Amino acid sequence: MFDLKIQNAKTITGERLSLAVKDGKIVKISEQIEEPAKEILTLATDEYLSAGWIDDHVHCFEEMNLYYDYPDAIGVEKGVTTVIDAGTTGSENIGRFYELAQAAKTNVYALVNISKFGIVEQDELADLTKVQSDLVRQALTEFPEFIVGIKARMSKTVIGENGIHPLLMAKTIQKENDNLPLMVHIGSNPPELSDILKTMTAKDVLTHCFNGKPNGILDQQTDKIKDFVWEAYHKGVIFDIGHGTDSFNFHVAETARQEGLICHSISTDIYIRNRQNGPVYDMATTLEKLHLVGYSWTEILDKITRVPAENFGLSNKGHLSVGYDTDLTIFKLKQGEKTLTDSNGNQRIATELIEPTQTIIGGKVYQVPATVGTH
């Protein structure tokens, strides 16, 4: 007997299916499944099913002061099955984060900050004595299933007088540890974005890719994507949204889309303040903004399932296929009007909205509060 059977499901492409679960894994997918199950979930006619949504840039170590939140408040309660904390903790405090994360319903992973205390203070890379490769290696050895990469924040308020040097150190640490994934935060200069992208290599993740700052990807004089940005894009640097409080601009995203620079992955950079006060609120709201600037729902779902799973080596997640973890998101698409605000206060009206209704993690079904996506 199956543990769970989901019937009357449909994907965003219109495929009809039923799905059976045993021991937290998808064990059968068919148009109709007759075998019995301990629990049966029948979807409503207006509900869709996708692989579980993955947010690859969040901040959810609750014992921090600057950027923090609670995994389930930004995960299972928002239709998100998996979150990756993007460098909130470093080698000295990631052990405590791991302990707390084990109590969450949401799947929690981490990128370890190359600064040993993480983001205890805004300028964690101003003092390079805090960057110690042996401590990073020790953390990777101690928490190999939890840590899925490293994080370096490369913007003016973080690096002090150190220029591009912290990123060079991060690249060295990366090479010393089997070229594990590296996420790089960008913002105001120094360092110059051109130097950052020149240093990054294929499969490195550039987050905050559509920020509206002068040091961003858009030349504010010509209103075109900068040439060196295209060079990085074509060499395989991964462009990630990382919306955040100050890092998503409608015009930049729309201009990039029109020129053919398509983001690879969609993430929120959510933490308690921009969750409660905006402009982020939740993953669904971020998805609505990408849809508004021209991304199809099919594209969008791929960028929060398959793509982040592959980027960070989550080999059992991101696909609606037999053998994968039963991490699923059930959602509705609705017509309506909703005012969306980017990080610079620009507003637009969305008329097609996405609303997660249920989150399934490891085969367990959780209801999403009705307020999600209504901001």
185 is known to lie in a ligand binding site: yes
Q: How far is CA 155 from CA 163, 165, 185, 240, in A?
A: 9, 12, 7, 16
243 is known to lie in a ligand binding site: no
- Residues written for the chain: 375
Is the torsion defined by CA of 119, 123, 127, 128 positive or negative? positive
Other residues' Cβ atoms within 10 Å of the Cβ of residue 213: 22
198 is known to lie in a ligand binding site: no
Q: In what order do the strands lie in the sheet with 205-207?
A: 53-58, 80-86, 107-113, 147-154, 182-186, 205-207, 238-240
The one-character DSSP state at 309 is H
251 is known to lie in a ligand binding site: no
165 is known to lie in a ligand binding site: no
Q: Please choose, from the candidates 233, 173, 237, the residue with its C-alpha nearest in 3D space to the C-alpha of residue 200.
A: 237
**Dihedral in degrees, nearest 10, Cα atoms 202, 203, 208, 210:** 60
**Which residues face 330 on adjacent strands?**
49, 358
264 is known to lie in a ligand binding site: no
Enumerate the known binding-site residues for Zn(2+). Answer: 57, 59, 151, 185, 208, 269
Which residue numbers belong to the known binding site?
57, 59, 151, 185, 208, 269
